[in-house]
Structure 1
Amino acid sequence: MGRWAIALHGGAGVDPNLPLQRQEEAKQLLTRCLNLAISALRSNHSAIDVVELVVRELETDPLFNSGRGSALSEKGTVEMEASIMDGPKRRYGAVSGLTTVKNPVSLARLVMEKSPHSYLAFSGAEEFARQQGVELMENEYFITQDNVGMLKLAKEANAILFDYRIPTTGLECCAAEADNPLMMNGLPINVYAPETVGCVVVDKEGRCAAATSTGGLMNKMSGRIGDSPIIGSGTYACKLCAVSCTGEGEAILRGTLARDVAAVMEYKGLGLQEAVNFVIKERLDDGGKAGLIAVSNKGEVAYGFNTNGMFRGCAAEDGFMEVGIWE
């Protein structure tokens, strides 16, 4: 029997001006999800079951950018995406462009287990969801007034806004300075704080699993797909480890961050934390910003980020437990 371990995240790239009350709300949600996972692992639930359980909880709470509370596209709608991967056989399922599915991560698992494919998107994914009888909601369920306000600001600034939880009255101090604006693919970023959610677990049997879910970017183009549902970029699990990423999706895609953690462990012989550090330092080009969480089949847990902070929590069977935001 091995040792279980878990890590979860609520996004990397936290604005330093985030109010203390919002920080505390985030920590409480992360702690609740950690305790939920710990209880499940102690009851001998499998890694794949636990990552789905945790991400469902994060999708249902509107605090982070996934499921209910997802960032809005330029059309004012949600286009959610998620993926899940079972490490022992490297099976995975992914979905994109969802507008009615309450828990995208669960539909991703159904794609993995109940379809002949690995990835379904937009109308095809929605049709599969109806066939499978998953819980569907009207688009309004996912939309919060905070997000409506942030989308309005994003359109006025002709920018992509990341953190819908920054108070709108404080945007002036959070915005990129005109002399040195933050850019992503040539567009100004007013607030850098993506809030994808993810979870990685190794259970007592040494089985690793990972899941990631997101609403994407505020004011994103309709049809944009980020790193979260792309296996090897935003999510990856194998016999050795499991990884979930968050941050600037386009940079994570270019760097294939999640797979590279496993690759440098396998081919360079690095330990888990060494591998995470290497990937964050060496694989994010052009100033890309990101963070990731990881577990190994030995019951180790690790994380890394090159942003101001990352909403995160982790725990291990030996009693270690941590919930944090900053370095």
Structure 2
Amino acid sequence: MGWAIALHGGAGDIPLNLPAERRLPREAALKHCLNVGVAALKANKNALDVVELVVRELENHPNFNAGKGSVLTTAGTIEMEACIMDGNTMKCGAVSGLTTVVNAISLARLVMEKTPHIYLAFDGAEAFAREQGVETIDSSHFITSENIERLHQAKEANRVQIDYTQPITANSNKETTAADANGDSQIGTVGCVAVDSCGNLASATSTGGLVNKMVGRIGDTPIIGAGTYANHLCAVSATGKGESIIRGTVARDVAALMEFRGLSLKEAASYVVDDRVPKGTCGLVAVSATGEVTMPFNTTDETYI
């Protein structure tokens, strides 16, 4: 049996007119992380190890909204979250409200493997990280100058947003598009899905959330069946506006349409993205047990919430 893998660096796209100094590092990071995952699968690593490995690599790259590049809350702080799920066993682990953990996805896996629970958050998750001896660092490590500017622009506009794409004006209350004056594109949540040569499926997702989000806000990423899901049929990792993804139970609905209506992975994922969530709010990557890969999204022309 063959293997398959897909990853994402957030909902949306990288415009062709994005300056090379911004575009090339993002493209290179995605290609590097994909190559890491492919090499691991070729070396017969199981799907769960592969998705954790790939997402760790993405978390360490400052051009994505996870780990090092996490966006800021309205208080200018970091609150990271992540989730991992093993489709073979249906075991899963999730974390939220992390401020010092270098790789949130690995702590999520430890929650899955070392506790009787699925989800730990905030002080409890941080205490568990120290207890397990995972790598931690001062929260200033995660704060980049770009994300300070993103927060400044979001506050000027008085809104919560996936990212910024154009200069904010005092009278600007309308939706904006990804093709804009400063040529930037949204960064985003990271995720990876894989099926290994034995047919095992796994999904992993990690994010810093939304720019200017309220302190304590939790999005779709760590919620099983919303931003992350895997079973014996497929593995799904979603990204976009978390509130819409939660309402649409996006990741689980893809699996449910395959299980109960007999749809293919592509049919199921397309239906969910096109009909279950509003336009401009969602994208996902998914693989099936048979190696089918799909990556639908409806976010290209929508950036603000």
TM-score, scaled relative to structure 1: 0.85
Residues 1:171 and 2:170 aligned together: no
Query: Paired residue for 1:292?
Result: 284
Equivalent residue for 2:175, pick from 172, 181, 185? 181
Match runs of 1:21-32 below 5 Å: 21-32=21-32
Q: What is the rounded CA distance, in whole Å, between the counterparts of 2:59 and 2:252 in structure 1?
A: 24
Query: Paired residue for 1:140?
Result: 140
Q: What is the rounded CA distance, in whole Å, between the counterparts of 1:180 and 1:283 in structure 2?
A: 24
Residues 1:302 and 2:291 aligned together: no
SS of the equivalent of 1:36 reads: helix
Q: What is the rounded CA distance, in whole Å, between the counterparts of 2:273 and 2:218 in structure 1?
A: 22
Q: What is the rounded CA distance, in whole Å, between the counterparts of 2:60 and 2:172 in structure 1?
A: 37
Residues 1:90 and 2:83 aligned together: no
**Unpaired segments ≥5 residues, structure 2:** 177-183
Equivalent residue for 2:248, pick from 255, 271, 289? 255
CA contact (8 A) 2:162 2:241 kept: no
Residues 1:272 and 2:271 aligned together: no
Counterpart AA for 1:181: E
Structure that is richer in strand per residue: 1
Q: Percent identity?
A: 58
Query: How far is 1:157 from its partner?
Result: 2.1
Query: Paired residue for 2:179?
Result: none
Query: How far is 1:181 from its partner?
Result: 3.4
Query: Paired residue for 1:320?
Result: none
Query: Paired residue for 1:321?
Result: none
CA contact (8 A) 2:37 2:54 kept: yes
TM-score, scaled relative to structure 2: 0.91
Query: Paired residue for 2:193?
Result: 200
CA contact (8 A) 1:251 1:288 kept: no
Residues 1:100 and 2:100 aligned together: yes
Query: Paired residue for 2:180?
Result: none
SS of the equivalent of 1:8 reads: strand
Q: What is the rounded CA distance, in whole Å, between the counterparts of 1:62 and 1:24 in structure 2?
A: 13
Query: Paired residue for 2:42?
Result: 42
CA contact (8 A) 1:86 1:209 kept: yes
Query: How far is 1:150 from its partner?
Result: 1.8
Of residues 220-229 and 193-202 in structure 1, the stretch that sits farther from structure 2 once superposed is: 193-202
Q: What is the rounded CA distance, in whole Å, between the counterparts of 1:37 and 1:192 in structure 2?
A: 25
Residues 1:282 and 2:281 aligned together: no
**Unpaired segments ≥5 residues, structure 1:** 183-190, 311-327
What do the CA deviations read for 1:10-61 (whole angstroms, capped 9, x no partner)? 0012475643442222111110001111111111100000000000000011
Say if 1:92 and 1:292 are closer, same or farther in 2 by CA, change over 3 A. Answer: same
Counterpart AA for 1:304: P
Query: Paired residue for 1:4?
Result: 3
Counterpart AA for 1:152: H
